[in-house]
Chains A and B, each alone.
Chain A
């Protein structure tokens, strides 16, 4: 299963980015292979409106099952994530990616 994190950097020790639509990076963690991948989302800065759905669409291309973020997506982005079948967990805005992963495994994060 693939788990994706909204983050300010590209690794496990990067700080989480609490924003969804305008997050700077995604860190993608593959549970099976325990490998890390990342995606640079900073081009989203150029979108005046509708950053959320656009980012969610990008995410869907990666085929991730779980999204972990800070404050949660807006309505439009939530619709895209739902269509893609991605589960969303929130409340990890203050953590590092590693901490967020631990918190998720322990079931400490709230489902959006």
Chain B
């Protein structure tokens, strides 16, 4: 069972549209995992049934028991995040500021402070309209994605893949360069980098590739909106060949991407021409990872 992870440093390159298209082509062969939990949009194209869901806890938050508090103010003194203001004469933890370091609880003389795990959202298991299963997540407002949540989503997806004897897990990876994307990449057999030939697209592609390279994961690249700028397209291709990244496809700039999404469809269902290009790149990926 192999993990194929789709990432892009920059937002708006079409990563999710392309991942959803792969999911559509592969149908029941694979299990889908949406690890882009900050902007979890893939379900909008996949028609999930939200079959099962479970609360997810991550990080800690301090809580002050007012009955036990003797108002000595030590907690406020040691808190480096200004997270314990006095409201109506009581020391209260501000949940948006508290980092959950636990220092206050450790020094409280009356043990009035407890640190408890924070409910940050839920993870879901859905049947989707391709006949496959999809694991995804929903974060609460202000909650942060973490390596832990990404690992949870991927682990659930992998467990189902093993159980149902599927050959691959297709992962819509997290954005950025932090812990969640590291967790998305760990365990990947192949990474698909989605980019666009814009100065910011190339800039962010290079930044995220440093991570992929460090892990020594084989990578391929899809250049979306490829005809937007010839110069940057050229620079992107030079970068790909220097780094030995397989060019999987060049997709022309086309509003049909948005049209398909607006109609709740993947682009392979919506437009034959674009569909061919995307299917072609999926075939290449299958060949490379020997699916």
Contacts and interface: CB of A to CB of B under 8 A. Distances in A.
Nearest to B152: A45
Interface string B42-73: 00000000000000001100000000000000
Given A19-B186, A19-B187, A93-B189, A48 B216 contact: no
B59 to A, nearest CB: 6
Given A49-B147, A71-B215, A18 B155 contact: no
A53 interface: no
A71 B148 contact: no
Interface string A29-50: 0000000000000000111110
Contacts of B148: 45-49, 51
Interface string B144-186: 0011100110010000000000000000000000010011011
B217 interface: yes
Size bin of chain B's contact surface: 20 to 34
B187 A18 contact: yes
Given A45-B148, A48-B147, A17 B189 contact: no
Nearest to A20: B186
Contact of B186 (A22, A47, A110): A22
B215 A72 contact: yes
B187 A91 contact: no
A49 B185 contact: no
A48 B187 contact: no
A17 B187 contact: yes
Q: Is the interface of B mostly helix, strand, loop or mixed?
A: mixed
A71 B179 contact: no
Contact of B216 (A20, A45, A71): A71
A22 B188 contact: no
Contacts of A19: 186-187
A74 B177 CA distance: 13
B146 A48 contact: yes
Interface in B129-151: 146-148, 151
A21 B146 contact: no
A17 B185 CA distance: 13
Looking at A46, A51, A75, which has the most chain B CB atoms within 10 Å of its CB?
A51
Given A19-B186, A71-B185, 14 more contacts: A18-B188, A18-B189, A21-B186, A22-B186, A45-B152, A45-B155, A47-B148, A48-B147, A49-B147, A72-B215, A74-B186, A74-B214, A93-B187, A94-B2
Interface of A: 17-22, 45-49, 51, 70-72, 74-75, 90-91, 93-94, 110
27 contacts: A17-B187, A18-B3, A18-B186, A18-B189, A19-B186, A21-B186, A46-B148, A47-B148, A48-B59, A48-B146, A48-B148, A49-B147, A49-B148, A49-B179, A51-B148, A70-B187, A71-B188, A71-B215, A71-B217, A72-B215, A74-B182, A74-B186, A74-B214, A75-B214, A91-B216, A94-B2, A110-B216
